[in-house]
Amino acid sequence: MKDLHRTILTVTLSLLLGLTAPICAAAQPQDGLKSDTYTYVQRDSALLLDVYKPAVPREDKAAVISLFGGGFFMGERNNALSKEIAKSLTDRGYTVISIDYRLGFRDRAKVAENSTVFKATGLFRYCIDIAVQDCAAAVAWVCSNAQDLDIDPDRIILTGSSAGAITVLQLDYCRANSLPEASELPQGWKPAGVVTYSGGVMCRKWELKYATSPAPTMLMHGTKDRIVAYKSFGLPFSQKMFGAKKVDKAMDRQDIPHWFIRFDGLGHEVANWLPGSVDLFCTFAELTLAGRITSLDATMTDSRLNPTSWSQMSVFDLYGKRKK
């Protein structure tokens, strides 16, 4: 890399490791996790977010905006995994904002209009675009209410699982390339970091490129993932979904420092692995928030991360089962 000493590590690890009043203030559950719920934007209906405050906040007032997965047809901001992620990160002092976003595959008219395989990538693009727009609106709301939330708007990390990972990667790609889907972001705002679990970028071009620098990024992906492809997915002469492997190569071509962590032989189970890899998440976040430029290329195993029947499905299995 130019002007950068990049340390490439290939390792095998075994981890043993003016704010409006909220809609509702959740009662404190036994695990100590509670949240306040707000409307952050009005689309066809109100879109909500939950704010989880740590018992002992970080001095730098860093926050994490978290997006759930679910193939753009299911999932919600307060599902079990979202709460587990919030617990893992609030325990480390982060304010966590978990957001809902529009699920494009629930738009029956759009699904019917794009029902053939040749139109499928267009439908996926629609789903991703509206999710990106909603994520940008959530960022704008959080930044405008940062003082009342007691967070620093310049120290916000975006993270997501599966469809949520695609959304946050796509948002930063759109921001870096001045694309209209990111237009609701505050002027000049850039994430402090982006951490993705089984994500990718949808691109209309043959080659993925960044016009300006993306945020510091950590990509985690299973090499056998067939739901969000590890490399790429799409028809010839059509827009494609570039998985973590292709995003890694694009960043390498442009000398963009980033972390790329592959789970060899695993599929989509990596999408749900933030709570199990919270130490790794926080290591990346600490270095990034400290302004340190780091790169990592690693192959990992984890004795607690095992294949399951759903995580070994293909994208065709996933959406085929949905129709039944």
| Tokens read off for 67 | 């997006």
Considering the domain boundaries, does residue 4 fall inside one? Answer: no
Q: For residue range 280-289, list pLDDT tens digits in order.
A: 999 999 999 9
Considering the domain boundaries, does residue 242 fall inside one? Answer: yes
The count of residues in the chain is: 324
Q: How many CB atoms lie within 10 A of CB 56?
A: 9
d(CA 47, CA 259): 32
| Tokens read off for 47 | 């879109």
Considering the domain boundaries, does residue 6 fall inside one? Answer: no
Number of domains in the chain: 1
Q: State the pTM of this model.
A: 0.88
Considering the domain boundaries, does residue 1 fall inside one? Answer: no
Considering the domain boundaries, does residue 203 fall inside one? Answer: yes
The domain in which residue 309 lies consists of 25-323
Q: For residue range 198-236, list pLDDT tens digits in order.
A: 999 998 777 899 999 999 999 999 999 999 999 988 655
Considering the domain boundaries, does residue 17 fall inside one? Answer: no
pLDDT at 22: 62
**Between 51 and 9, where is the model more confident?**
51
Considering the domain boundaries, does residue 162 fall inside one? Answer: yes
Q: For residue range 178-203, list pLDDT tens digits in order.
A: 999 999 999 999 999 999 999 999 98
- For tokens 């945020």, what's the residue? 215
Residue 164: band (very low, low, confident or very high) from pLDDT cuts 50, 70, 90: very high
Q: Are strands 95-99 and 46-52 parallel, antiparallel or unpaired?
A: antiparallel
d(CA 134, CA 143): 14
Question: Any idea what DSSP says for residue 45?
Answer: S
CATH label of the domain that carries residue 207 = 3.40.50.1820
Considering the domain boundaries, does residue 54 fall inside one? Answer: yes
